Structure 1
Amino acid sequence: LGDAGSTPTTSAADGVPSDTSLSGSGGLHLPQQLEQYRGDIMDAAKATGMPPSVIAGQIWAESRGQLNAATTNVNGKADAGLMQVNADTFKSLQQQNPGLLGNDVNDSHTNIMAGALYLRDQNKEFGDMGAALRAYNSGPDKVNKADLSDTGGVGGSSYPTDVLNFAKIIESGQGNLPA
């Protein structure tokens, strides 16, 4: 989050079920791996105004629903949890939103809320969900609004498009999420 650029260390071989079939209620067709976080996703969406399908799409992109996913990004900082939140960003979000965040970045509710708050802040800053997602993945200083595939050397070039595509699949129930 903020300065991502690596893939979670967990994988299908580490216990992520390969079944990406979607179950739907409440307008979201979540993959089985995210169903247990439905309430946390909806709470974060309500608190931040961010679309629940985009939050779920980010979780899929960041961790495939692995609560204890952990990565070290290109600047040497560790990202943690479902939304891959780094410690510096989490600390800043805690100071700005003391009533919304707990103390444990690995708690699913806290992690999802932190990621959604950060996305909301980036969306306010850039006024565009694609640019907000680029900022989330690469850092706000790396956003090139003319070319959202430009990572500035940090993150994945297809991240904004991937998350928005995952969100469409999760919202519509049409299509398959990658394993």
Structure 2
Amino acid sequence: TLPNRAPQAAQSEDPLLALVNDAEQQRLNAANSIKNTLAQLEADETANKARVDRIVVSRAKQQQRTEARLARANAAAQQANNTHRVETGDTLFNISQRYNLSVADLITVNNIKGNSIRKGQVLKVTAAATQRNAVRNVSYTVRKGDTLNTIASRFNVDVNDIRRWNRNTRTVTPGQRLKLMGS
């Protein structure tokens, strides 16, 4: 064991070897410092991405809230005017549901022939509610595909009432005129 110690002692006392060891230690320290810096940069980048994602989601929600507020304001303005301007996709049924009216009320108050409405048409919507309790006679022309049940559903009346108002009609044919009362 003595011969091995002598060269180690000689190596540790060798100034050139000490310089090499110091340089190697400095290189290792620099590499570790670079690794730590890269790890910190990656963590910062991940945190920034998460922050950006939160901001994007927040702005999208804010946009949705703004659009909902505008829609409510437009609906309130239209209700205040007692009118509804027909938009693409509107039907008598969905307009009646929006303003809590029957389709028959909309047809009667707006003097609509058949069931057709067009984009841009302005319909009275609240005047119908005041006339709701009055009994009215409405005439409906049966179209292809109509049944007593679909007509009753469309006008918010009972099928048996339609039969009673129309001489106990059991079937309908296109072109046939039906009386609808108090709907």
TM-score (norm 1): 0.20
TM-score (norm 2): 0.20
Instruction: Point out which structure has higher relative CO (alpha carbons under 8 A, 6+ apart).
Output: 1
Instruction: Choose 1 or 2 for highest CA Rg.
Output: 2
